[in-house]
Amino acid sequence: MSVEDKTSAPAKSTVTSAAAKSGGGWLSQIAQLAGVVAVVFLAKGAIAEPFYVPSGSMEPTLLIGDALLASKFPYGYGSASLPMQINLPGTGRVFEEAPKRGDVVVFRWPGDRSQAWVKRVVGLPGDRIQMRQGQLFINDRAAELKPDGVGEAEDDNGHSERAYRFIETLPNGVSHLIFKERDNGRLDNTPEVTVPAGQLFVMGDNRDNSADSRIPVREGGVGLLPMDNLVGRADAVVGSWDLGMRSQPVWTWLSGFRGSRFFTAVH
C-alpha cells in the first residue's frame, strides 16, 4: 500500500508540473497573440486604415479598384473612427480638427453608418455653396476650371464613357482633376446652401456621376455631412487592380494590376 502511495504521488506531481508548464506556455502565446491583435487594432483605429474604391464617383482622382489608405489622426477621433463597421450614436470627437477645402475624406454614410464612402470636401461651416451651369461657386467665388483634355469615365458596371477633364482650382488654391461627362446635367444647377456648424459639403470629382452633398440622404446622396461621421483623410493609393479583368481568363489577371498607381499620393 505504501509502495503504491510512493509511486503514485511522484507521478501525480510530475503530471501536474508538466501541465503547469504547458499551461504557462499556452498562456504566454495567447498573451502575445492578444498583444499583436491589440497593436493592429490600435493602429487601424488610431493611425490609418485601408479602404477599397468600388465606384467611379471620384474619377479621375480615384479609380474603381483602388486600395486607399486613410489617415485617422488629421481630424481627431470619434465613433466613426473605429476599425469595425458598427453603428454607434455620434458622441463627438476628441482632438478634433476641421478638414481643409480640397481634402479627400473617408466617412460613414449618414444613411447607413456601416458603409464607408469617399468624397472631396468643398464646403466648410459657414460657406455658401452653389453649382451654376456646372461650375462650383464658394461664397459667390467661382472655382477656376482649366480644360485638360479628354478621358474615359468608368461606371460601376465596367462600361466607359468619354468625359472632358478639367483642372479645378478652389478659392484656397487647391487644384485637382475633375470629370464632366455632359453639359446641363441634373446636378449642374443647384440652390445655394449655407453649410451649418459641425457639417461639411462634399462632392465627387466625377461631377455627373456622384451621389454627394448635392443630393439628400433620402434620395441616396450624402446631404450635408456631419463631421462626426469622418473616418479619416485619404492620403495614398497603396494598390490598384482593374476589376474589368474579372471577366477575362484567370491567367490574364496579373495584367490588371495598375503598377503606376501603387503607393501614389491622393491629390
| Cα 206 from Cα 213, distance rounded (Å) | 13
| Cα 129 from Cα 122, distance rounded (Å) | 8
Give, as one character, the DSSP assignment of residue 143. Answer: P
Q: Which of 57, 210, 213, 240 is catalytic?
A: 57
Q: What φ, ψ does residue 74 adopt, rounded to 5°?
A: -60, -30
Q: Beta-carbon neighbour count of residue 166 at 10 Å?
A: 22
Contact in structure between 203 and 180 (CB atoms under 8 Å): no
Contact in structure between 217 and 140 (CB atoms under 8 Å): no
Displacement of CA 84 from its chain's centroid (Å): 13
Tracing cell 443630393 back to the chain, one arrives at 215
Q: How many alpha carbons fall within 13 Å on the CB side of residue 49?
A: 23
Q: Which of 55, 72, 81, 119 is catalytic?
A: 119
* Cell of residue 206, nine digits: 466625377
Q: CA geometry: angle at 46 spanning 44 and 49, to 5°?
A: 30
Q: What φ, ψ does residue 236 adopt, rounded to 5°?
A: -150, 150
Nearest to 193 by CA among 174, 173, 213: 213
Can 57 be counted among the known catalytic residues? Answer: yes
Q: How many alpha carbons fall within 13 Å on the CB side of residue 163?
A: 25
* Cell of residue 8, nine digits: 503514485
Residues taking part in catalysis: 57, 119
